[in-house]
Amino acid sequence: MWEDVLKRGDSVNDQGKHVTKMYMFLKRYFADTHTPQFKELYILQEDLDERALEHVKSIITRLLTTNRQDMRMVFPGIKSYSPTGEFIQIEFDDALHIKHRDEHIKSSSTSKKYNAHYKDSYSPWWVGKPPYDEDIQTQWLRFANIIKKSSPRNRQFAARQQYQQQTRNNW
């Protein structure tokens, strides 16, 4: 079923549509319950320190809205978003996502750049073709660096904590 929703193998992108993959990940990450395997891989928002949570709020705001002032939703399928308070609250709508996804891809900055420069000519191999989305990819990399337990940032943090704990135990 999700292969149809992701539109995998639609001759444009074998991995599916970045916007739908990001939507589904956000839906999993901000859900009320998580599988043990998910908890092994990711740091949940309630376990983030204050600074990391502020970074996540900034990343998600940049991804989902036009700007921080008017907070108008531009990411398809997001009905409401509240970055205030202790936790981020997001309301998802799958039908709305599917309805507006293709329009979002056509109006993305990546599609506009690609169509302006390469639509009728040869494009270099490193140029991502729509539905690849540079903006989503950039925000994903920033987000993953904070929430993935295996990210270099978090491995260094864990090693530092372990060292401090061992030092305390040796005294």
- Count CA atoms within 13 Å of residue 74 on its CB side: 20
Summarised one tens digit per residue, pLDDT across range 56-111 is 999 998 888 765 455 566 788 888 888 877 888 999 999 988 888 877 777 765 65
For the entire predicted model, the pTM comes to 0.72
Query: How is the chain split into domains, by residue range?
Result: 2-118+127-170
Average pLDDT, the chain: 76
The share of the chain scoring above pLDDT 70, in percent, equals: 67
> In which band, very low, low, confident or very high, does the pLDDT at 10 lie, cut at 50, 70 and 90?
low
Q: How many CB atoms lie within 10 A of CB 7?
A: 18
